[in-house]
Amino acid sequence: MEELDNYQDYIDQAMDWAISILPSLITAIITFFIGLWVIKFFNRMVRRFFAKKDYDETLESFLQSFISILLKALLFVLVITQLGVKTSSLVAIVGAAGLAIGLALQGSLANFAGGVLILIFKPFKVGDWISAQGVDGSVKEISIFNTKLSTFGNQIAIIPNGQLSNGNIVNYNMEDTRRDKIDVGIGYGSNIKEAKEILLKICADNPNINTEPAPEVYVGALADSSVNLTLRFWANNDVFWPAHFDVIEQTKFRFDAAGIEIPFPQRVMHKAMED
């Protein structure tokens, strides 16, 4: 009977505690959902603000991500305080756990620092085509922890900012123009001078290839089965690939028309003589 009385005491104490904390819990829940709505509304206003301004897309993406995370962290503190946790106690808890959190989130902190470095030094921006960490793609988004690249096959590659800021990056859009290099092999019996003239004529007929600096053709190597010509020309970034592929296609057509041989590997089969 005494044990039942003890259980009843525990139940009464639990009920009293639940009743005492219920108003704070309801307030915290209401604060949480209202806070999420406010954060969503504020983020929408920030996006509209940036849409009306001609700011760098890289800066816009980074700030939007940073503001969203900061507001959610403030909301978390506000909800905790509504549950009766004093701000001073919360600061003490955060301070005590700071070292452990810092060690656990070393990678995230490095990525955050990398994002800040990318924002300051701007090795690339949204829309640039880059090659980094073994991935080639167009920069789609730069957040505070990682950068998203849209690859040639329309896949999304997510690369941590820490690796990007410390690794090698090739930015193909940093300059307005790019120089192409195409190697073409011709037979040893073909006319080198005529082949070079055809290649230069192909460049002259292509409106996507710049006339300054002028295209150049050199004998790059005397290989085992071909004379390798090296064609170099400049083109603007937005028409670089159309120019590249057109030159390759026209080279085949015009060399065939001029009777200039493009060597290719051949295998000759000999039938063994019977005794």
Q: What is the DSSP string of 9-58?
A: HHHHHHHHHHHHHHHHHHHHHHHHHHHHHHHHHHHHHHHHHHHHS---HH
Domains 2-104 and 115-171 share a fold: no
Beta strands per DSSP E along 90-205: 129-132, 135-142, 146-150, 156-160, 169-171, 177-186
State the pLDDT at residue 94: 58
From 119, 114, 118, 122, select the one nearest 145 (Cα to Cα).
114
Q: What pLDDT does 33 receive? A: 85
With contact defined as beta carbons under 8 Å apart, do 252 and 262 qualify? yes
Q: What whole-number distance in Å separates Cα of residue 199 and Cα of residue 253?
A: 11
Q: Where are the domains of the chain?
A: 2-104, 115-171, 177-258
Contact at 8 Å (CB) between 207 and 222? no
**Beta-carbon count within 10 A of 104 CB:** 11
The pTM of this model reads 0.59
CATH topology for 115-171 is: SH3 type barrels. (2.30.30)
210 three-class SS: coil
- What CATH code is assigned to 177-258? 3.30.70.100
| H or E stretch covering 192 | helix 192-205
Displacement of CA 265 from its chain's centroid (Å) = 40
| CATH topology for the 2-104 domain | Helix Hairpins (1.10.287)
- Cis-peptide, bond into residue 213, ω within 30° of zero: yes
List the pLDDT tens digit at each of the 275 positions of the chain: 555 556 666 666 666 666 666 677 777 788 888 888 888 888 888 777 777 766 666 667 777 777 888 888 788 877 777 776 665 555 555 555 554 555 455 667 788 888 888 888 889 988 899 999 999 999 998 888 889 999 999 999 999 998 898 889 999 988 999 999 999 999 999 999 999 999 999 999 999 999 999 999 999 999 988 999 999 999 999 999 999 999 999 999 999 999 999 887 655 455 655 54
Alpha carbons 19 and 8: distance in angstroms, whole number: 16
